[in-house]
Amino acid sequence: MRLICTIIISLLSIFQGSPVFPQLYQTGDLKELFTPPHPETGFTTAKDNRNEIELFLSGLFLVYKNFISSQDGSHCTFSPSCSEYCVQSVKKNGLLIGLADSFDRLTRCNGMSPEKYIRNPETGLFDDVPEIFNRYIYKTDIQ
């Protein structure tokens, strides 16, 4: 009788012990929990240059980001930052329109700008990505 009871109880405990969540008992995802995010060093904006102007501008951007902007607190209102925006806009619109667009962005980079932007909940900054302009300086829908 005792033996039967023991077998029944152990069978029950085996049945009860089957995990509801297999992912609960894996601690792999908790191992990187306290690893601090590495400070940004490689900027994707400076990659994929198609001509010498873009290469030169990307070089200036990297020097500015690594030696000047890195010593400063975070002050830009937007994401991407004004320097990244400049490189992206020149790559999309060419040197002249891209630079004009970047100067326009600099005039908007303050808390009193009348334009309305969507705030990114992750970064806490306003989203403002450079758009493509056609040769009459109108914004186009083509990205």
Q: Of 2, 3, 5, 25, which one interacts with other proteins (CB under 8 A)?
A: 25
Q: Is 24 in the site for other proteins (CB under 8 A)?
A: yes
Smallest separation, CB 20 to other proteins (Å): 4
Q: Report which of 83, 66, 68 is spatially closest to residue 130, judged by C-alpha positions.
A: 83
Altogether, the residues listed in the chain come to a count of: 143
Q: Is 112 in the site for other proteins (CB under 8 A)?
A: no
Q: How far is Cα 125 from Cα 128, in angstroms, rounded to an integer?
A: 9
Q: Is 73 in the site for other proteins (CB under 8 A)?
A: yes
Smallest separation, CB 130 to other proteins (Å): 25
Q: How far is Cα 88 from Cα 54, in angstroms, rounded to an integer?
A: 10
User: Binding segment for other proteins among 12-20, 78-86, 87-95, 128-136 (CB under 8 A)?
Assistant: 12-20
Q: Of 50, 75, 116, 135, which one interacts with other proteins (CB under 8 A)?
A: 75
Q: Is 21 in the site for other proteins (CB under 8 A)?
A: yes
Q: Is 68 in the site for other proteins (CB under 8 A)?
A: yes
Q: Is 48 left (phi over 0), alpha (psi -120 to 50) or beta?
A: left
User: Binding segment for other proteins among 20-28, 55-63, 78-86, 134-142 (CB under 8 A)?
Assistant: 20-28
Which residues, in sequence order, are CB contacts of 123 under 8 Å at separation 6+? 79
- N- to C-terminal Cα separation, the chain: 78
Q: Is 33 in the site for other proteins (CB under 8 A)?
A: yes
Q: Are the CB atoms for 120 and 126 separated by under 8 Å?
A: yes
Q: Give me the sign of the Cα torsion angle 116, 119, 125, 126.
A: negative
Residues making contact with other proteins (CB under 8 A): 16-17, 19-21, 23-25, 27, 29-31, 33-36, 39, 67-68, 70-73, 75
